Structures are given as C-alpha cells and as structure tokens.
Amino acid sequence: MANNGSHITEYRVLAKILLILMFCTFLTISVTSFHLGALTVTVALLIAGFKSFLVLSYFMHLKYESLLLRILVSMVFVLFIVIVLITFIDYSFR
Amino acid sequence: MSEHNTHIEEHRDDEASKLGMWLFIFTELLLFGGLFLVYSIFRLQYPANFHESSLELSVTIGVINTIALLFSSMTIAFAVTAVQKKNNKLALRMIGITLLMALVFLVNKYFEWGHKFEHGLYPGSDLMQLLERGHHLYFSLYFFMTGLHALHIIVGMILLIIVYFKVKNGSIHHEKYVFMENGALYWHLVDLIWIFLFPLLYLIS
C-alpha cells in the first residue's frame, strides 16, 4: 500500500458537512440582522469558528491525520489567540 | 521471478509533503490573522465609521460568493475521494466544477469592485483621500483583504488546473495523489479565510 492507512472520506459525509456549513451561513446572516451590539460579533465569530473547525476536520482531513499534525494546527490557532490577547491588552491599557 | 530484480523503490514521503504544505498554510493563516487584528483594532477605534461603510457592501453578492466557495470546497474534497476510489472521470468533473465556482467568485468580485471604482472609490483615489479616517481605513482594509484573498483564488485556480492535467495524464492516481491533496488543502485555506472575511466585512455592523 502506497499511502499506508490513508483515510477515504465518503461522499455523503462531505455532502452533510456542506449542508451544515450552508445552514451556519444563513444562521450568521439572520443573527447579524438583529442588532444586539457586541453580542452579534461574538455569535458571528463563534459560528465562523465552528465552520472553520468543520472545514479543517473533514474537508482538510485533519480528523484522520497524525496526532503531530493536529497538535501543530491547534498550536497555530493558540498562537494567534495569544497574539490577539496581548495586542488587546496593550491597546486597552495605553 | 527474474533473477535481475530491478524493482526501483520510489523515494516518496507523503506525510512529509503534507506537513510541508501545512507549514506553508500556517504562514498564510498568520498573514491573514495579522490583517484581522488590524481590522479589529481600527473597528474598536472607529465603530460608527466602520458600521456605515459596511452598509455600502452588497450582502447578496457576499452570500453568493460564500455559497460558491463552500460548494467548491466540497467538490474538490469529492475529487480527492474520487481519485482514492479510482474514479478519475468523476474527479476531473469535480475539479471542473471547482474551477467554475472559482470563476463565479472572481466575476462577482469584478462587478463588486467595478461598481466601487465607478463611484471613484479605489485605493489612492481622490474620493478616498476626502473620506473620514474611519471610512478610509475600512475601505483600504476591504480592498487589501479581499484583494489578497482574490489573489489566493487565482493561485488556487492555477494549482487546480495543474492538478486537472495531472489527473488526466495519469500522473496522479489512486496510489499517488499527495500533490492533489496539497492543492485541495490550498483551496480549503481560501475557503477558510473567506469564512471569517464574509461576516466581518459584510455582515457585522
């Protein structure tokens, strides 16, 4: 076997993920049409975060990749969140 | 069995190829991440201006582009599955649909940008200089971020065209498709960035 143990994601799994992604998109649109202030941004970003999790795990096959790769990818997101936090702390205490 | 067993072991490490692609994707994520950070800080400074400016964008065009990108992300994942299942014909068709969706996205973007250009709204234009600082920043970020994203779409399309011909001439097949996987990863990255760009630029007001 050339690609030892490589996982094949079935068509119907991919199609289901697309449906969830579409649903989330319309959810975002309807949520943002209510003006809830800061809450709107939070909800929109949470939904976007969930959508990117689905794309990363299923479309980008991360769910079936090695632990090393999964840890590396999560570390990049942790790094980004740390950068955001530090910048915002800096910005608010100037 | 011949005694001259000239079986040549191909030197290939698919894991390493994928890891390399991911390392590149990390740099891309942080590049756009930095831009998102700039956007959020200026949004905090000029909330009213950012709100008014975002109303200038057409949500309909944004939604069409979002659907096109999400759909294309699925079709390219379909294409990878098809190659793994030795169904190259379906794979070619799926790559074709992906490219078509990419084209839909770019044509939409062309009209969206063109509409703004007609009104004298483009980076460095006289109108842009006259705008309030918050509006100026919003549109500069809008043009830069969507422009950089569109550039990634074009690069992704070139990659997928190469993948298309490699599948067609048989150099990508069910036992050797890491190049295709990496091309697909790049395409998903483009989709991933848009997932954040769309609500931040078009919706949140």
| Mean local confidence (pLDDT), A35-58 | 89
In this predicted structure, the answer to whether residue A1 has a pLDDT above a threshold of 60 is: no
Q: Which domain holds residue A16?
A: 9-60
| Mean local confidence (pLDDT), B143-152 | 97
| Mean local confidence (pLDDT), B77-87 | 96
User: What would the two tokens of residue B118 be?
Assistant: 């007609």
Interface membership of A90 toward B (CB under 8 Å):
no
User: What would the two tokens of residue A62 be?
Assistant: 């991360």
Residue A85: left (phi > 0), alpha (psi -120 to 50), or beta?
alpha
Same domain, A72 and A34: no
Residue B101: closest CA among B192, B195, B196, B187: B187
Same domain, A37 and A13: yes
- Give residues with Cβ within 8 angstroms of B44, minimum separation 6: A91
In this predicted structure, the answer to whether residue B181 has a pLDDT above a threshold of 60 is: yes
Same domain, A18 and A50: yes
In this predicted structure, the answer to whether residue B179 has a pLDDT above a threshold of 80 is: yes
State the number of CA atoms in the 13 A half-sphere of A55 facing the CB: 30
Rounded to a whole number of angstroms, the distance from the CA of B119 to the nearest CA of chain A is 27
Q: ipTM of the predicted structure?
A: 0.90
pLDDT of residue A39: 83
Rounded to a whole number of angstroms, the distance from the CA of A24 to the nearest CA of chain B is 10
Domain boundaries, chain B: 57-203
**Lowest mean pLDDT segment, chosen from A9-23, A33-47, B1-15, B139-153:** B1-15
Same domain, A47 and A18: yes
The residues that bridge with B176 in the sheet, in sequence order, are B173
Interface membership of B199 toward A (CB under 8 Å):
yes
* Chain center to CA of B173: 25
Same domain, A43 and A16: yes
What's chain B's average pLDDT?
A: 93
pLDDT category of residue B5 using cuts at 50, 70 and 90 = low
In this predicted structure, the answer to whether residue B8 has a pLDDT above a threshold of 90 is: no
Same domain, A48 and A86: no
In this predicted structure, the answer to whether residue A40 has a pLDDT above a threshold of 90 is: no
| Count of CB atoms situated within 10 Å of the CB of B192 | 23
Measured over the CA atoms of residue A38, residue A41, residue A44 and residue A48, the dihedral's sign is negative
Which superfamily does B57-203 belong to? Cytochrome c oxidase, subunit III, four-helix bundle (1.20.120.80)
Of A48, A69, A72, the CB nearest to B199: A48
- Distance separating alpha carbons of residues B97 and B118, to the nearest angstrom: 31
Q: Does the distance separating the beta carbons of A52 and B196 come in below 8 Å?
A: yes
Structural domain count of chain A: 2
- A18 within 8 A of B71, measured Cβ to Cβ: yes
Same domain, A16 and A51: yes
3-state class of A72 per DSSP? Answer: helix
Residue A2 lies in a domain: no
Residue A71 lies in a domain: yes
Phi, psi for B87 (deg, rounded to 5): -105, 75
Same domain, A52 and A80: no
CA angle B62, B67, B73 (to 5 degrees): 125
Interface membership of B84 toward A (CB under 8 Å):
yes
Residue pLDDT, tens place only, B118-137 = 998 998 888 988 899 999 99
Same domain, A17 and A51: yes
Residue A1 lies in a domain: no
Same domain, A69 and A56: no
**Lowest mean pLDDT segment, chosen from A71-75, B9-13, B111-115:** B9-13
Mutate to test the interface with A, among B54, B76, B186, B204 (most CBs of A within 10 A): B204
In this predicted structure, the answer to whether residue B1 has a pLDDT above a threshold of 80 is: no
Residue-by-residue DSSP string for B10-46: P---HHHHHHHHHHHHHHHHHHHHHHHHHHHHHHHH-
